[in-house]
A = this chain, B = another copy of it.
Amino acid sequence: MQAAVFNGPRDIGIANVPDRHIVEPTDAVVRVVLACVCGSDLWYYRGQSPHAAGDLIGHEFIGVVEQTGPAVQTLTEGDFVVAPFAFSCGVCPNCEAGFQTACLHGGFFGGDGLGGQAEKVRVPLAEGTLVKVPGTNHSDEVLRSLLTLSDVMGTGHHAIVSASAKPGDTVVVVGDGAVGLCAVLAAKRLGAGRIIALSRNPARQAVAREFGATDIVPGRGDEAIEAVLELTGGIGADATAECVGSNDSVATALRIARAGSMVGFVGVPHDVELSIGRLFGRNVGIKGGAAPVRAYIPALMDDVLAGYINPGRVFDFETNLNGVAEAFAAMDERRAIKSLLRVSSIA
């Protein structure tokens, strides 16, 4: 089968690798229909975080179950499924509490031979991990939106949930990548009264508005903080979503947050120094992390299938598996918000 591989910084290739197959009795093999490139893939792409050379990559995919291990009861060949970016057993205390990214038996796609940017993926703990999609006759728009449930839509939602956003709240979203835009959509879906998106990019501003942003703040750092304070009568945001993971973005989020409020952070942190003094002085809390998107897929899928949300709008570049290098480059150069890979047809 063909699969995207990481050869080294800014060098993504396609390799012929052995077909994935059942290893553990709880495995399934999924034939990938759609996959995509994540903002977090850019860290190793840019050489800013390690990744084994020659290893498979990609952790977002939807597809069709092709094989199941003997212990898999609830899935069968032909099922159309969404895979979250982490696999999880579904029954340990952490999974039961809804934090499947901390599953006692789980792990993450995107390495160790478990690459989602590939024709097929071996899915460990398939019953706990995969979520079956009702029906197969979905529009391309719906398929694109279902793909976002693998990561970015669930992650944006996690930022808003972790920020303890309540209906009517003024929510600020720091970061205009696909996750930040999905956080805007999640805030809207959960009833935010006002949604302020920080973005300097016209294309992203447009998606943010479409997703429900009521105000756009084009500045960064002090400028953005001042603008948000002005928009909120000097008080700050009721709930703040940090969707970048840089030291500057976290610092901005902490200063935008009103006293006593929460910052939900989902950007994978890189060289972030967290000022506990700033947290202490204003009673600002921070929570988030690797989103347990598995917990969120069912409810978000209902809303996608009902046409109530359309997070697939974040894909503004598409190609096939052979074009994966260009898919990375488009995001690296910020020509694309998020790159879609068409791998096979659903039927």
Binding site for B on A (CB under 8 A): 93-94, 97-99, 101-102, 104, 162, 233-235, 250, 258-260, 262, 265, 268-269, 272, 274-277, 279-290, 292
Contact = CB atoms under 8 A, between A and B. Distances in A.
Contacts of A104: 234
A103 to B, nearest CB: 9
Given A233-B93, A276-B274, A259 B99 contact: yes
B93 A235 contact: yes
A235 B285 CA distance: 23
A286 B283 contact: no
Contacts of A288: 279-280, 283, 285
Main secondary structure of the interface of A (DSSP, over half): mixed
A126 to B, nearest CB: 22
Contacts of A162: 283, 285
B289 A287 contact: no
Nearest to A278: B289
A102 B290 contact: no
Contacts of A97: 258-260
Contacts of A289: 279-284
A228 to B, nearest CB: 15
Given A94-B258, A99-B260, A260-B99, A276 B283 contact: no
A284 B272 CA distance: 16
Nearest to A247: B276
A287 B286 contact: yes
A260 B98 contact: yes
A268 B279 CA distance: 11
| 5 residue pairs, one from A and one from B, having the closest CB atoms | A285-B287, A102-B259, A99-B260, A283-B289, A280-B289
Contacts of A279: 265, 274, 286-289
B283 A287 contact: yes
A140 to B, nearest CB: 33
18 contacts: A93-B233, A93-B258, A94-B260, A97-B258, A101-B283, A102-B259, A162-B283, A269-B277, A272-B276, A274-B275, A274-B279, A279-B287, A279-B288, A281-B289, A283-B288, A283-B289, A283-B292, A286-B286
Contacts of A268: 280
Given A262-B285, A280-B288, A283-B288, 17 more contacts: A93-B233, A93-B235, A94-B235, A97-B258, A250-B276, A260-B292, A262-B287, A265-B279, A265-B280, A268-B280, A274-B275, A279-B289, A281-B289, A282-B289, A285-B285, A285-B287, A286-B286
